[in-house]
A and B are shown apart, each in its own frame.
Chain A
């Protein structure tokens, strides 16, 4: 027995040595590759950018949207980039941010959750430019914040839903003036979505009732489906979601209940054009792309807070591609455009969540 253990231990030891050995040669190779590359490169080196997400890719919503802008920048601006996901694990926020800062000149930080961590890490890497999405941190020279006026976008979505719920001629729209919303988690950002949505609905018709349920999760379509089904059962015929991946369940529910849904963050109509009538677009991808572009052409001013609202093209309503069957009547679309113009001009003041 002792022999067996001894043999096993030796094997593990050798294994360990081989493994660490490999690591070293690998590093050496990397260095060798890098050293001659630098002087040989006459052209400007590509900008190294890292994308750090508090959640994970594959939500077809917020994070994927930022990734789209990042990929576009890779293709059109020739940046070099890598993506680091934290998958909603708060113990990884700092690790991933440091890993990104060690390896990139600009770090795009996606998610309000990084509020504390970014303030801790950014001063340690003064040469790195941080672009922080979805929250506001002030007083740092190397942190630029991009924040979205979601409430302006959801104001349009709420107005649209309130008008649509009264078009009883459309199949699947009932008599009752009830519209619904599924929120991801009861958080300030999502409450901002809710406030705009409710205000938009009330702007059209005071009698329209907005029912909201929070799923308590951004990653669980099953919960989203249950919440939406409950809303449809209450008499809502259009449900808007601001719940990331959880929202996929809302579309499922809409299909089952033969009712309608409104997408969020990206133009989500392609997911199911029969039930998703429109989407409130949050221009996350666009803002990522534009900021990286500014860094490259030198017009970037670090340390600012940039607001993306209707005026900046940061939030909007999307109806999918022209080849899709349009459910929303043209009159409603025109009305939405009118409201958009009013918000732009400042005639309508959209309330904000605290």
Chain B
């Protein structure tokens, strides 16, 4: 009977794997319906994302912002405070990093880069603090305020990049380029993979430690699971929620900083194609688990990079990947159902085994 007792995690991993496989099968059917071969399509998707060092690097480069925004979501959501404002925090963080980069041009990289990251973290954290305070002090729903705050930050930084800090070259909505010392080293020729990935790994480890091994993380999760019980147990829920929100904002700000320091080398008006929302999806799929966020970000990175190659080689629109992602989410929403089916099968097997 011991064998039958499944850990919930394992059960979840199983239904997640099932969701992904089913989503890929449905994707294959869609490709078939369009008269193309799903095998060549998926082959070019995998080859296009993992087929060479350059392609692998490109895939990894795509996962950096996803991991950071995914972790941001994981920390906030598991503490029961819903930070939908990651996009705005990311924009402000990106601008803050760029500002440091093109203003203090004489600093050496060793001081400048941490300074830019700190500025970005402060900007993101501060921007998350406002809605968090509004929530705990006045009970204003943070979902609504953070969504509105996104527009404010995106439009505000857009204004800054177009008027007071507009680039003197290139006719585009962007700031000046950051000083060379600030540019993070690129790791593989022609790809955008930069040393930010190591920072990201360290940050991910720190967040894992915080959430799984410290009492702070325990408090966070307790508040997220049952607010009333947590309060009854003597946890200062308001304070912890604010802290979780700040951490979330800091992570988004840093994600923005890496886009500037490692990727574009200047602040662009539309610097993020919605990383924070993608990160949110990633985190929701894996139920806000740190390890899950990392693995799922890599998977999303593979899909995104691969879909571009797939589109080029087989003329299947890269949007197919969005369909696959949506189906995965749909199945995950129905995960409870899978788990039940699984348990029923097991109950039968168990009975047979006992006999």
Residues of chain A at the chain B interface (Cβ within 8 Å) = 1-2, 4-5, 8, 12, 16, 18-20, 22-23, 26, 82, 84, 88-92, 94-96, 98-99, 103, 112-113, 115-116, 121, 124, 135-137, 185-189, 216
Contacts and interface: CB of A to CB of B under 8 A. Distances in A.
A242 to B, nearest CB: 14
B158 interface: yes
A115 B264 CA distance: 11
Interface stretch (B133-141, B203-211, B217-225, B266-274): B266-274
Interface of B: 3-4, 6, 10, 14, 17-18, 21, 39-40, 42-44, 46-47, 51, 58, 61-62, 155, 158-159, 162, 166, 169-174, 177, 190, 192, 263-266, 268-273, 305, 308-309, 311-312, 346
A84 B21 contact: no
Contacts of A103: 312
Contacts of A124: 190
Given A84-B312, A95-B305, A188 B173 contact: yes
Contacts, number: 108
Contacts of B21: 8, 12
B292 to A, nearest CB: 17
Main SS of chain B's interface residues?
helix
A99 B312 contact: yes
A65 B214 CA distance: 59
Closest 10 CB pairs of A and B: A23-B43, A89-B273, A115-B170, A188-B171, A22-B43, A187-B173, A22-B39, A23-B47, A112-B172, A19-B43
Contacts of A185: 158, 173, 269-270
B346 A136 contact: no
Nearest to A101: B190
Contacts of B39: 18-19, 22
Given A1-B6, A12-B21, A115-B170, A187 B269 contact: yes
B40 A22 contact: yes
A1 B4 contact: yes
Contacts of A23: 40, 43-44, 46-47, 51
Contact of A82 (B14, B173, B312): B312
Contacts of A94: 190, 192
Given A98-B190, A112-B172, A90 B271 contact: yes
A12 B17 CA distance: 10
